[in-house]
């Protein structure tokens, strides 16, 4: 089953203690602003803010007048951070059945919701056992705790392993102009073949706010931003969304104006030669 996510997904990693440290009322305002701009999907992970950001979001969400069914909540589990309260001494991955079940129940409690629209396994682990994961996910679906299941940072072969046991509806991976290998190494081809929705984390690729970027890239930004009447962030997002795999960028900003730019970028159709011009400007050479 494919859930409908907004094309731009709001990433919450830096809404709380790992970033902007927004108050409950600021979080509520930001959720409402996202909603009124057409961003209805919110990306979480249990670990964000050292296990505190889902709770901060839930506290903000409870003050919003937006019906839960109008939004989509995505969360992830499987990274166990070293944490005194939880008795973990070392950062590691954990995909045992009980760990997955407990993680999701905690996420639901913190987000103040009865279900997640999508649960992602945060990163592949050498110890993951598809049978145990299948048992946990089936139980979560049967209880109505999650609507769908997906992966994050999984290669096509790791994805195929999971697909033998479960329907995989999404893979959230790093994709951007600067992290463009999924466009060439088969990751996005595989998503298209299998009808898996690709979600792009860090879609701006760390290219903005940097002091020095190559002058060819700066020039390309200048020309193409003028051509498409957008800003650098809008151009970088449009560049991703012009890929035919229907990439859904997960944007990390907490600024309402930048969310608006991102939504406007969904409408930008980049001419083929311009698309390759931006790639060449980043790489420093054109295609082989």
Ligand X SMILES: NC(=O)c1ccc[n+]([C@@H]2O[C@H](COP(=O)([O-])OP(=O)(O)OC[C@H]3O[C@@H](n4cnc5c(N)ncnc54)[C@H](OP(=O)(O)O)[C@@H]3O)[C@@H](O)[C@H]2O)c1
Contact between residue 215 and residue 243 where contact means Cβ atoms under 8 Å apart: no
Closest alpha carbon to 133 in 150, 145, 109: 150
Judged by CB under 6 A, the residue of 232, 248, 259, 260 near ligand X is 232
Q: Answer yes or no: 48 catalytic.
A: yes
CB of 76 to ligand X, least distance (A): 6
CB of 15 to ligand X, least distance (A): 8
Site for ligand X in 156-185 (CB under 6 A): 172
- Interface pattern 35-64 for ligand X (x via CB under 6 A): --------x---------------------
CB atoms within 10 A of CB 179: 16
Pick 206 or 285: Cβ nearer ligand X: 206
CB of 237 to ligand X, least distance (A): 9
CB of 231 to ligand X, least distance (A): 6
State the DSSP string of 46-60.
Answer: TTHHHHTHHHHHHHH
Of all residues in the shown chain, the one whose CB is closest to ligand X is 252
Pick 179 or 216: Cβ nearer ligand X: 179
Q: Which stretch binds ligand X (CB under 6 A): 108-116, 156-164, 201-209, 276-284?
A: 201-209
22 SS3 class: coil
* Number of residues lying near ligand X (CB under 6 A): 24
Contact between residue 130 and residue 165 where contact means Cβ atoms under 8 Å apart: yes
Pick 245 or 253: Cβ nearer ligand X: 253
Judged by CB under 6 A, the residue of 37, 113, 158, 253 near ligand X is 253
How open is the CA angle 191-195-196, to the nearest 5 degrees?
Answer: 50
CB of 206 to ligand X, least distance (A): 7
The whole-angstrom separation of Cα 16 and Cα 4 is: 26
Pick 38 or 135: Cβ nearer ligand X: 38
CB of 79 to ligand X, least distance (A): 9
Q: Does 204 bind ligand X (CB under 6 A)?
A: yes
The whole-angstrom separation of Cα 151 and Cα 119 is: 8
C-alpha 260 chain-centroid distance: 17
The whole-angstrom separation of Cα 6 and Cα 35 is: 10
Q: Annotated catalytic residue: which of 48, 51, 95, 190?
A: 48
Give CA separation, 279 vs 4, 177, 180, 234, 272, in Å: 30, 7, 9, 15, 11
Q: Does 153 bind ligand X (CB under 6 A)?
A: yes
- Strand ranges in 85-186 using DSSP code E only, listed in sequence order: 92-93, 118-121, 149-152, 170-174
241 SS3 class: helix
Footprint on this chain of ligand X (rule: CB under 6 A): 11-14, 43, 152-153, 172, 201-204, 208-209, 231-233, 250-255, 258
């Amino acid at each position: 089953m494919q859930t409908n996510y907004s094309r731009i997904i709001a990433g919450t990693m830096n809404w709380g203690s790992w970033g902007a440290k927004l108050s409950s009322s600021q979080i509520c305002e930001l959720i409402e602003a996202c909603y009124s701009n057409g961003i209805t999907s919110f990306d979480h992970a249990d670990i964000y803010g050292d296990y505190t950001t889902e709770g901060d979001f839930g506290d903000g969400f409870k003050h919003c007048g937006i019906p839960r069914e109008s939004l989509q909540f995505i969360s992830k589990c499987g990274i166990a951070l070293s944490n005194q309260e939880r008795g973990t001494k070392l950062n590691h991955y954990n995909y045992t059945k009980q760990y997955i079940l407990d993680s999701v129940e905690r996420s639901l409690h913190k987000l103040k919701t009865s279900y997640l629209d999508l649960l992602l396994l945060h990163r592949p682990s050498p110890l993951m056992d598809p049978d145990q994961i299948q048992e946990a996910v089936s139980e979560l679906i049967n209880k109505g705790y999650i609507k769908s299941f997906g992966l994050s940072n999984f290669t096509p072969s790791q994805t195929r392993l999971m697909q033998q046991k479960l329907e995989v509806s999404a893979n959230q991976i790093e994709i951007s102009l600067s992290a463009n290998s999924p466009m060439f190494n088969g990751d996005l081809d595989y998503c298209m073949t299998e009808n898996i929705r690709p979600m792009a984390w860090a879609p701006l690729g760390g290219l903005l706010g940097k002091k020095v970027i190559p002058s060819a890239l700066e020039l390309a930004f200048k020309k193409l931003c003028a051509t498409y009447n957008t800003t650098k962030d809008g151009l970088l997002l449009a560049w991703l969304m012009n890929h035919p795999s229907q990439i859904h960028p997960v944007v990390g900003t907490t600024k309402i104006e930048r969310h608006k730019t991102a939504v406007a970028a969904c409408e930008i159709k980049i001419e083929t030669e311009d698309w390759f011009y931006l790639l060449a400007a980043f790489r420093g050479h054109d295609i082989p």
